[in-house]
């Protein structure tokens, strides 16, 4: 009976709609947020950074595209949140707490809080990645 009551209350809440309206969607054109810069955590080589979520007010997550040019790397660094590297193009080698793995298009590395992580471009072509992680509030 308690489960039925809980389900009924849940459905009633859904039918009533959200208590407050969500903000409108923010549409970001990557060509408006692109810049050339050394990759973070060691400035190893050069990259093209698309700081997509920087254009979103009051965000709770980061969503970025980064293209590591030939020979470039995001150096090993500790993370205080889970993080995902998703490969769009090229080849790379990800490291998490000293364990290395090869990544190719369509592969993702899910990295855990507390690990020391990094990724480097390998192969002949640039490594294009999507990087996403939650914003850590101070």
Please indicate, yes or no, if residue 69 is contained in any of the structural domains.
yes
Please indicate, yes or no, if residue 10 is contained in any of the structural domains.
no
Please indicate, yes or no, if residue 108 is contained in any of the structural domains.
yes
> For residue 3, what are its two tokens?
């489960």
Give the domain range for residue 37.
26-134
Only one residue has tokens 């309206």, namely 21
Distance (Å, whole) CA 71 – CA 126 = 9
The pLDDT value given to residue 21: 87
Distance (Å, whole) CA 47 – CA 126 = 9
- Read off the CATH number of the domain in which 74 is found: 2.60.120.10
With beta carbons less than 8 A apart as the criterion, state whether 96 and 113 touch.
no
Please indicate, yes or no, if residue 110 is contained in any of the structural domains.
yes
Please indicate, yes or no, if residue 102 is contained in any of the structural domains.
yes
Q: Give 63-115 pLDDT, tens digit per residue.
A: 999 999 999 999 999 999 999 999 999 999 999 999 999 999 999 999 999 99
Please indicate, yes or no, if residue 2 is contained in any of the structural domains.
no
The DSSP symbol for 44 reads B
Structural domain count, the chain? 1
């Amino acid at each position: 009976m308690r489960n039925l009551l809980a389900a009924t209350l849940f459905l009633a809440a859904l039918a009533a709609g959200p208590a407050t309206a969500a903000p409108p969607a923010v549409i970001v054109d990557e060509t408006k947020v692109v810049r050339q810069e050394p990759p973070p955590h060691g400035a190893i080589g050069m990259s093209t950074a698309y700081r997509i979520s920087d254009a979103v007010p009051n965000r709770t997550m980061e969503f970025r595209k980064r293209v590591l040019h030939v020979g470039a790397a995001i150096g090993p660094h500790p993370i205080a949140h889970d993080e995902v590297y998703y490969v769009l193009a090229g080849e790379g080698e990800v490291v998490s707490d000293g364990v290395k793995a090869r990544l190719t298009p369509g592969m993702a590395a899910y990295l855990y809080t507390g690990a020391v992580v990094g990724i480097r471009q390998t192969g002949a072509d640039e490594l294009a990645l999507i990087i996403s992680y939650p914003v850590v509030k101070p």
